[in-house]
Structure 1
Amino acid sequence: MEENQEQIAQQWHAFLQEYFQKRIQQKQEFILKHFEFIKEQKPSDSKISDAKIEDDYKQSVFEFIKNTYNVKPNLEAEDEINVHQTLSTEFHNYLSSIPEKINIEQREARFKILKEDAFRLKLLKPYKIFAFKFSKIPFHIANLFRKEKKKLHYWKHEVKTQALFERWFFNKMYSTLDEVNQDILKEFSDALLEVKSFESNPDQIDNDPTSYFNEDFKKSIKLKINEAYLKNCEQYEKEFELVGTIEYNKKLISERRLERDYRQLKKHYSKHHHNWQNTIHALFEDWRSELELSALQAYIANNIHDLDENIQSWKAKIYEHFLNDIKSYLAEAQAMFDQEVMELEGITKKITQVKYITNKKLGQSLIQNMQENLSKNSILNQMDRLEHMVSERVEKLATAYVVTKSNQFDVPLEDNELSTISNYELLSFELIPDLNAKLEELKSEVFTVMDELLIKVGDIDEIVDYVLSAASNSLDQDEDEQQAKSIIVDGFERAENTTNEVESQINEIVEKSGEQLREMSDELIEELQKLKQNDKVSALRIRISKAKALHKSEALTQKVFDYIKNYFSIAKSFFLKYYDKALELKTELSKRFLSATIVNEPNRAVSDFLNESNQIINGLPLIYRKLYAIEPLTDMVLFEGREKEIKRISSAYAAWQEGKFAAVLLTAEKWSGMTSLINYSVKNIKFNIIPLRIELKINDPEPQTLFKILAEKLEENLTDKESIIEFLNTGKKRIIIIENLQKLFLREMHGQKSLIDFIDIMTATQKNVFWIGSISIYTFNYLEKSLKMSAFFSYHIPLEPLSDDEISKLIIKRNRISGFKIQFEKSEKDINDKKYNKLDEKEKQDHLKERFFKDLNNFAKSNISMALMFWLLSTKKVDDQNIIIKNFKKPDFSFLSSIKMDRVFVLQALIMHDGLFQGQLAKVLSYDITKTKFLLIELLEDGVLQEKEGQFFVNPIIYRNTVQLLKSRNLL
């Protein structure tokens, strides 16, 4: 080998050693980085049993490796991008330092027949030898006459040094480099398995992950490269003497042959490298899947444990604050009738005294407070929250993970050995529905018990009150005091027995709830554990396919049903269009011509409807009524929809933070959920300032009232507009929410003064204060015409109509907390409908449900409170497990059209102002106080109005019809 070539070969050899040692170093650092992170994050032995800590730990590791080897290897992409390009570029840089070809003298052996020569050479060499000797005859003759004999020179041969160098130091080295690369990846995979094992079972690992890629391994890699290098140097030397002679096949170093050999070697290298990359990718996918499922296991265990503890805590509070006091009071009250006590005081006086104390301490305090606590549905709410939180967590799971058939990660894996499994699909289609079904069943049972407890708790003071009255009556009938005492003792014993029954039922439901929750947790965790066993991939894939097929079948059936229903609905609506118009015209004409004869109809119709409505609502379980109470939401689990409105409020806040004017005005009909939307926004939009909230309850157009309210909330002595503006602009940044801005306005001369002063304060302080206001849509529409109200707010956000589906979800969510199963009642028309009768039970219920909520929302017009109220009024029957909902029937308040105009103006004023006092109504309508008083009394008696703390409001039950009446007369 020429000196220059030898130096280049040594440099190339040194580069290869350095290159692969660097790769080893990188892999070693990778392993060490992951090992140290896990060791740092891993909880101590004492905390491993803490599910919350375990969840956080698993999630932190998951986030750390989330994007590591997360893309499925691509053979085409790996071909040149990985090793080949680097090696090829570096080698050809060295190769360029070698001459392309050189001419040197052949060795003497090339002109001799050697024992190891092939048969072909033995035939050809004699001709070569003869030709050479013949060509040298002149040389030998001339040498005879020379005093100094010249040395015989053999023929020269052309050596293609670059091609030969490439053959032995690049192509022939590639198979060795392939082996070295596989050795490194095998060691890397083994080390990763140990890190993974350490993450899950720190006490059950065979080797310390840091022991991999040690000095012995590095030496073995160096030795393998050295051996291959020395062997190739020897072969290079041999072929160097033969190239360009008849003894060497020149095709071996042809450009085409070298390129073909390189492509073949590169293909093998890439294939092996790709398969190992598959292994490492699959290992990390398996790890991520296990971490995700382990975190979910810990999350579920933690939440169920917390729920169990909360239930136990709730029980303890019931005992501490109510049951123990009730039992103590009953014992004390009974002791007051002991013989010794009665010797000091008369039994009649004692009965009166105990009855008074019982009513005050037991009935108005302990019993009432305990019933209030039971009716808050705290256990049901927490179960529903658990269901919501688990479903929300499952939604965040990755869609699919790569798994292997063999579940081995210490061998290279072909592409066909990899498949995908979706944890999310299996959980969402199978496991979570099972969990939710069990929770629904448990909630239903808890609901039933709570309703029974409410009744029994109420019975306690009624029993005491009754026995005391009975004892008092017995004394009035001249019976002896012993007989009265016997009645009292028996009565108190029954009260104590009832209390014990309450205690027993609470213990039973708490114990049963805890037991069932733990069973649910264990079953779900066991199922999740099975998901982590990839050796059951085929079975899991079949389970997912079945679950998806069932879901798809149901969805397809529903889609076909919806299509057919929609088609016939269009046809039906076309044929019935004119029929409906005719009926409407007939009804309208009847109202016009017969209105004079039904002046007294409203009294009877409204009162009858109200009595029937009250009977329906009062017949429902108290807990169920509480769920549908017309009040702003504080439990945000029940919140539904309003994504666009929340996004706009969030955008407004972001704009204000950037220094822009961004006052927000929410407008909607009364009871449409503006306060609930504000509550949700405060909890979910990341305000960096705690909002100051003001709810205006009384209509007052005087500015001083507004100034006083703001001063009290700001806790400063501020008496006028200028001082409030100065204070807000010079102080810290604030968020101020004012609800019911319609209360700052009266439709009278100078009735806008307070509202205008508020606008002045708001516009002057927008840089320092983020303002959110809400106002009734009907007040806003009036003020928009007279004051151009929206011009003062950068973000006017009218609440958009809720879809039928959103109304449905909003109501169904509340029902889920109760645990009752809803059953929609079919109508007589449905019974005779052939298409309806062909549906299965689930399809029938889906059809009835969709129709009900469509009709309900058509009436409620996205007014949430209206929807909730008429949902309750649509309840036909409640039993232990089911609630039967009858077909929604739009209430007929057509009699409202016969109300005289002076009363219509009263309704208009009350809706526009969201309630008024008697004197305010008189001012707004310019009626004298006497006429106003009699109008209000009449409308109150008719049930059209309600009175609350001196203010008069339109009855919620006829609110929708009243609005429609006023709109039909262009008064709204």
Structure 2
Amino acid sequence: MSEKKRMRDLKSALNDLIDQKLAEAVREKRSQYLEEVIELLQRLQTRLQVTDDQSKVLEVMTDTLQNIRGIIEEHKETTIADVYLTAVKKHTFELEKDISVSQSESRFKKLEQDAANVRFIKSLKRTARSLGSISRDFSNILRKLLNKPTRAYEPWRQQIPYQHVTEYHLYKADELLKRRVDGDYRHVTDIILELENYLAENYYESDISGGEPEVVPAPSFDERVNELLQGTKKYRNDLDRQVEEDFDTIRENLLHYLERVGTMERRSGFYQESRVEKRASRFRDVLDNALEEWNEANLQLLDKTETVKEFVGFQKELDEQGMDFIDSLATFFDSYLKKPIKSLQNDLQGIQSSIQTYRDKQNKEAALQLIDDSKKLMAKLVSETKDPLNELIEKTQLSNQANLFSERVLMKANSISEHVLFLYDLDTDNNPPDFNFRMITWRLLLVRSLKEHMLNRLQPSQQHYEDFMVQVAGDLAEVQEVIEVNFDSALELFENADGDNDPYSIVIEAVERTITKLDNTAETVQNKQEQLKLVVIDGCREFSNKMLNLVHNGDSKELQLLDAKYKVKQKAHGWQTKAGARWARIQDSFAVFRRFIGKKVKAYLSVARRFLGFEEQQAEQVLKTDVATYLSNTDEKIKELPYIYRRLFNFDMETDRRFYVTLNENFSYLQKAFESWENNYPSTFAVIGEKGSGKSTYLSYALDDFFKQREVKDIHLVGAISSEVEFIKLMERELDLENVDSIEGIIEAIRNEKKKKVIVLEALQNLYLRNINGYAALESLLYVISETKESIFWIVSSSLYAWNFMDKVVSISEYFSHMMRTDKLDARQIESVILSRHRSSGYELYFEPGELQSKSRAYRKIMDQEEEARKYLKDAYFEDLTNLSEGNASIAMIFWIRSIRDFDETHFYIKPLEVTSVEMIQDLRPDVLFTLASIILHDTLTPSELSKVLLFTEQESRLMLVRLKTRGLLRQDGDRYFVNQLMYRQIVRVLKERNIIHLV
């Protein structure tokens, strides 16, 4: 094959590689990405054209943002770098590894574009070739003389590592393709930015002052979406030309080097395999880094847009809540203030008109009757208006409405993302967009701003709702007094006319004054209503504008101002604090050794002194108080708290699922037990815990989550059921059994049921009485459970101390395959119980160091480092709280409330925990302690039941329970008495110390 034909074939193969295989792979990858972007814009445009409902527009935005995220995530899997590198590797492998070709004349001629060194090299090559030609010609002359064959001209050749050269220069297309990546990915960025701008500027404009907000897709947004769509389509249609231009450039660059490789201009040894691999690695790094930067930028911009969308949704809900509150205020003011006052005015005007008529006719008798009747009528009407007001004042109705509005708004705010990425210094013109970012506590900032701009202004302490109502009631009382005094005077004048005073004038003038007074009162009422309305309207608008500007425009200065504004007001660390911290760290290494030696010496001396009788054991120092003081302080502390805080930490209310902290086992332990039972393994389940530890909550959520497909019978045991007869009646009633008069009958009836079911028995401690004949019902239940556990999945709950006692008496644990403790929360979970509620209040926390912590080496070393010191104090507090509450969430909340030293508009200040010894409990007589222990074991008791347990007379039992209730140790519900939750931990501690109840 001639060299010319071979070169044509090589060039044809190279063109095929570049134009068909590589270009097509890149074209397909880029086209796929752009087609998905075009399809997304088309769907958005179509849905906007047919959508005119506000909620659906927001739904369209949500779907579009999710689809954009899907496109980004999908194309992160296989990038254009992967496609290109794979194609190059695959198709260059088919090329010849090395080729040898004649050097063209251009390798010898000087060209204008040649560098100086290249020109010099070409001069040398021409000289060498000329000398070689002269030498060959002289040699051929001699050969002819000697009759030998002459030598033909042999052109200079170049050895080309063809495969490596091609690979290497194809890999040099990284910057070229990177520019195309910038163009492709720019379209997604523009869509994200346009969606955010629409959401922030056009989608929802607050119109809380009245009427429905006008929320439709703005025409300008439709046009902008169409512009984006047409621009992307045009860009996509231009893709073939782009790819052709790009690969023409790649081809020219490759051919340029192929002509020179193997000559003095470009050594063949340059294209070693290791260098080619490095070039491929660099190609991947350049494109992957570019793609990673684009994806990261677009995802962060997407997160920002979703934050704006979330805020816009919250803004809509806030406006709806505001409108509801304004409507409720309007209803309240109309029903209790405006209409009654207007009615009084109308009645007074009618009286005034009638008196004037009687005056004109000099109808004295009719006037007397009218005045007397009107006085009584007005007294009745004013009383009917004033009495409901006084009742509302007593109930703090208006304050409660404001507090309820605040609570609802804060609960809505609790659904906002706690932390978001805050983007600032955004430059969208760069490719990819350039910005700085940081994580911010978004929900906390939002709640604080809500409080500042609206909720704090609506607080009763700011608006004085009851004072306003008292003022209105006082005005009405004044009206009544004016009517009574003046009408009585007029009646006296009618009977005893003195000639100087006109009784008609007295009445008419009095009515005019009261009407004027009522006008003023009505104006006051109207002004108050308008004031409250403006607080809501202006507060919503100010809050929305400030927070939207913060998150949409990335106003970092505003964020700094907010941070500074809400930062706790503390003294700056003085030089003494910093010096003390440094000195503590310096002393640390010496202190370890000194303390070790000192403790050892003291320990030995202490043992020796006690042995010789020179030293007495010192009792633990605790803070002492009496029950009344303890309860009074606790109640007072609770009443002082903000309304929302009292709601969040009301341990008598059912736990909101958002604040429910599950145990380490979560619900999986119950689920496993249930699955075993469904697989014909006879499982049974017991939930055990102290009073207030969340047994009922646990079961409530578990039933909702796992047993929707099963028939469930939830039985809550109330009152002591101790006999077999009572138990049979209970089962007959709760399970709808007929003609059952024995335990065997119950078992038979259950076995005859066709469907398997779940039975929940709550408060198992009510199924026995602690006396010699008080366990028949419990034993009957255990027998029924053991005989029916194949067809019934039995779940029971019991208080901890009752369970331990029943285990000693009837070995109850042996009847249950799975047992769950709800009162063993660890420090992390107790912290979550407290802080999940606290965060919803919008306040910050400041933990104060105790005396022991202030002396601690660990704390002293970090006390000049604010964040570390705060974390140390917080961790230490919750560790102590967990130990003191023994993992009981309700008890932990009580101690938390007692730990609040003070609070202001932004912070709660938490003092160290105190171990409080209640002197009245410590000093109680044995019979009282045994009464308390009995109630702990049964949860609740009546006087009759207590008499059976402790063998008191019923009268003695009643007097004992009443005395303990009067002291605050017990509370009463009907005829049943139970331990005051505020005193539960102190009572249990004393009973354990006296060895009356035990933890098994």
Q: What TM-score do you get using the length of structure 1 for normalisation?
A: 0.70
| C-alpha contact (below 8 Å) 1:656/1:770 kept by paired residues | no
Say if 2:406 is the partner of 1:380.
yes
| C-alpha contact (below 8 Å) 1:65/1:288 kept by paired residues | no
| C-alpha contact (below 8 Å) 1:696/1:740 kept by paired residues | yes
Say if 2:668 is the partner of 1:666.
no
Q: Which position in structure 2 is the counterpart of 1:312?
A: 323
2:67 to 56, 61, 65: 61
Q: Where in structure 2 are the equivalents of 1:143-182 lying within 5 Å? A: 154=152, 164=160, 166-167=161-162, 171=165, 175=169, 178-179=172-173
Q: Which position in structure 2 is the counterpart of 1:413?
A: none
Report the alpha carbon displacement of residue 915 of structure 1 after superposing the two structures with TM.
1.0
- AA aligned opposite 1:298: K
1:27 to 27, 30, 42: 30
- AA aligned opposite 2:25: K
Q: Which position in structure 2 is the counterpart of 1:447?
A: 459
Tell me, in whole angstroms, the C-alpha distance in 2 between the residues paired with 1:571 and 1:252: 79
Distance 1:14 1:315, change over 3 A: same
Q: Where in structure 2 are the equivalents of 1:677-716 lying within 5 Å? A: 677=698, 695-701=716-722
Report the alpha carbon displacement of residue 903 of structure 1 after superposing the two structures with TM.
2.5
Deviations 1:242-298 (A, max 9, x none): xxxxxx9788998745x34x7667756764664344333322322222111011012
Q: Which position in structure 1 is the counterpart of 2:551?
A: 528
Q: Which position in structure 1 is the counterpart of 2:988?
A: 963
Say which SS state the counterpart of residue 416 (structure 2) adopts.
helix
Tell me, in whole angstroms, the C-alpha distance in 2 between the residues paired with 1:490 and 1:580: 86
Q: Which position in structure 1 is the counterpart of 2:129?
A: 121
Q: Which position in structure 2 is the counterpart of 1:935?
A: 960
Q: Where in structure 2 are the equivalents of 1:360-371 lying within 5 Å? A: 371=397
Q: Which position in structure 1 is the counterpart of 2:187?
A: 194
Report the alpha carbon displacement of residue 13 of structure 1 after superposing the two structures with TM.
3.4
Deviations 1:199-238 (A, max 9, x none): 5252554953233354x753675588689879999999x9
| C-alpha contact (below 8 Å) 1:728/1:765 kept by paired residues | no
Q: Where in structure 2 are the equivalents of 1:245-644 lying within 5 Å? A: 256=269, 259-260=271-272, 271=282, 274-320=285-331, 324=335, 327-328=338-339, 371=397, 374=400, 377-392=403-418, 394=420, 408-409=430-431, 421-424=436-439, 427-428=440-441, 434-441=445-452, 442-449=454-461, 452-453=464-465, 505=528, 507-509=530-532, 511-531=534-554, 582-584=617-619, 606=627, 625-637=646-658, 639=659, 641-644=661-664
Aligned identity (percent) is 16
Tell me, in whole angstroms, the C-alpha distance in 2 between the residues paired with 1:561 and 1:806: 32
Say if 2:766 is the partner of 1:743.
yes
Distance 1:329 1:813, change over 3 A: farther
Report the alpha carbon displacement of residue 10 of structure 1 after superposing the two structures with TM.
3.4
Deviations 1:84-120 (A, max 9, x none): 5643553343427x9x889x9xx9xx9xxxx998221
Tell me, in whole angstroms, the C-alpha distance in 1 between the residues paired with 2:266 and 2:640: 99
1:13 to 12, 15, 18: 15
| C-alpha contact (below 8 Å) 1:696/1:738 kept by paired residues | yes
What RMSD in Å do the two structures reach over aligned CA positions? 6.7
Task: Tell me which moved more, 302-311 or 34-43.
Answer: 34-43
Report the alpha carbon displacement of residue 918 of structure 1 after superposing the two structures with TM.
1.6
Tell me, in whole angstroms, the C-alpha distance in 1 between the residues paired with 2:931 and 2:10: 105
| C-alpha contact (below 8 Å) 2:418/2:444 kept by paired residues | no
Say if 2:92 is the partner of 1:91.
yes
Tell me, in whole angstroms, the C-alpha distance in 1 between the residues paired with 2:765 and 2:514: 55
- AA aligned opposite 1:197: D
Q: Unaligned 5+ residue runs, structure 2? A: 109-122, 195-223, 355-365, 495-502
Tell me, in whole angstroms, the C-alpha distance in 2 between the residues paired with 1:474 and 1:622: 45
| C-alpha contact (below 8 Å) 2:622/2:917 kept by paired residues | no
- AA aligned opposite 1:196: T
Report the alpha carbon displacement of residue 673 of structure 1 after superposing the two structures with TM.
3.8
Report the alpha carbon displacement of residue 23 of structure 1 after superposing the two structures with TM.
2.1
Say which SS state the counterpart of residue 971 (structure 1) adopts.
coil
| C-alpha contact (below 8 Å) 1:856/1:867 kept by paired residues | yes
Distance 1:391 1:686, change over 3 A: farther
Q: Unaligned 5+ residue runs, structure 1? A: 142-151, 240-247, 411-417, 592-601
Deviations 1:585-621 (A, max 9, x none): 8999xx9xxxxxxxxxx9xx65576567666666777
Report the alpha carbon displacement of residue 951 of structure 1 after superposing the two structures with TM.
0.5
- AA aligned opposite 1:744: L
Deviations 1:24-46 (A, max 9, x none): 12211221023313432565166
Q: Where in structure 2 are the equivalents of 1:835-874 lying within 5 Å? A: 859-869=884-894
Task: Tell me which moved more, 804-813 or 840-849.
Answer: 840-849
Tell me, in whole angstroms, the C-alpha distance in 1 between the residues paired with 2:843 and 2:615: 37
Distance 1:878 1:783, change over 3 A: same
Tell me, in whole angstroms, the C-alpha distance in 2 between the residues paired with 1:928 and 1:956: 27
Report the alpha carbon displacement of residue 518 of structure 1 after superposing the two structures with TM.
3.3
- AA aligned opposite 1:780: W
Tell me, in whole angstroms, the C-alpha distance in 1 between the residues paired with 2:151 and 2:621: 130
- AA aligned opposite 1:921: L
| C-alpha contact (below 8 Å) 1:443/1:818 kept by paired residues | no
| C-alpha contact (below 8 Å) 1:822/1:883 kept by paired residues | yes
Report the alpha carbon displacement of residue 912 of structure 1 after superposing the two structures with TM.
0.8
1:799 to 809, 822, 828: 822
Say which SS state the counterpart of residue 930 (structure 2) adopts.
helix
Report the alpha carbon displacement of residue 683 of structure 1 after superposing the two structures with TM.
7.9
| C-alpha contact (below 8 Å) 1:55/1:299 kept by paired residues | no
Q: What TM-score do you get using the length of structure 2 for normalisation?
A: 0.68
Say which SS state the counterpart of residue 691 (structure 2) adopts.
coil
Distance 1:374 1:7, change over 3 A: same
Report the alpha carbon displacement of residue 666 of structure 1 after superposing the two structures with TM.
3.0
- AA aligned opposite 1:302: G
- AA aligned opposite 1:292: D
| C-alpha contact (below 8 Å) 1:664/1:772 kept by paired residues | yes
Report the alpha carbon displacement of residue 445 of structure 1 after superposing the two structures with TM.
3.9
Tell me, in whole angstroms, the C-alpha distance in 1 between the residues paired with 2:660 and 2:615: 34
Tell me, in whole angstroms, the C-alpha distance in 1 between the residues paired with 2:253 and 2:902: 93
Say if 2:798 is the partner of 1:775.
yes
Distance 1:371 1:740, change over 3 A: farther
Tell me, in whole angstroms, the C-alpha distance in 2 between the residues paired with 1:909 and 1:854: 31
Q: Which position in structure 1 is the counterpart of 2:950?
A: 925
Tell me, in whole angstroms, the C-alpha distance in 2 between the residues paired with 1:276 and 1:120: 45
Say which SS state the counterpart of residue 314 (structure 1) adopts.
helix
Tell me, in whole angstroms, the C-alpha distance in 2 between the residues paired with 1:784 and 1:503: 68
Report the alpha carbon displacement of residue 299 of structure 1 after superposing the two structures with TM.
0.8
Q: Which position in structure 1 is the counterpart of 2:201?
A: none
Aligned length in residues: 890
Tell me, in whole angstroms, the C-alpha distance in 1 between the residues paired with 2:921 and 2:774: 29
| C-alpha contact (below 8 Å) 2:568/2:907 kept by paired residues | no
Task: Tell me which moved more, 855-864 or 350-359.
Answer: 350-359
Deviations 1:628-677 (A, max 9, x none): 4341344445x264452535557548856974766543322212344455
- AA aligned opposite 1:409: N
Q: Which position in structure 1 is the counterpart of 2:500?
A: none
| C-alpha contact (below 8 Å) 1:916/1:951 kept by paired residues | yes
| C-alpha contact (below 8 Å) 1:467/1:487 kept by paired residues | no
Distance 1:728 1:525, change over 3 A: farther
Distance 1:683 1:363, change over 3 A: farther
Say which SS state the counterpart of residue 774 (structure 1) adopts.
strand
Say which SS state the counterpart of residue 317 (structure 1) adopts.
helix
Say which SS state the counterpart of residue 552 (structure 2) adopts.
helix
Say which SS state the counterpart of residue 666 (structure 1) adopts.
strand
Report the alpha carbon displacement of residue 949 of structure 1 after superposing the two structures with TM.
0.4
Q: Which position in structure 2 is the counterpart of 1:414?
A: none
Distance 1:530 1:890, change over 3 A: same
- AA aligned opposite 1:700: I
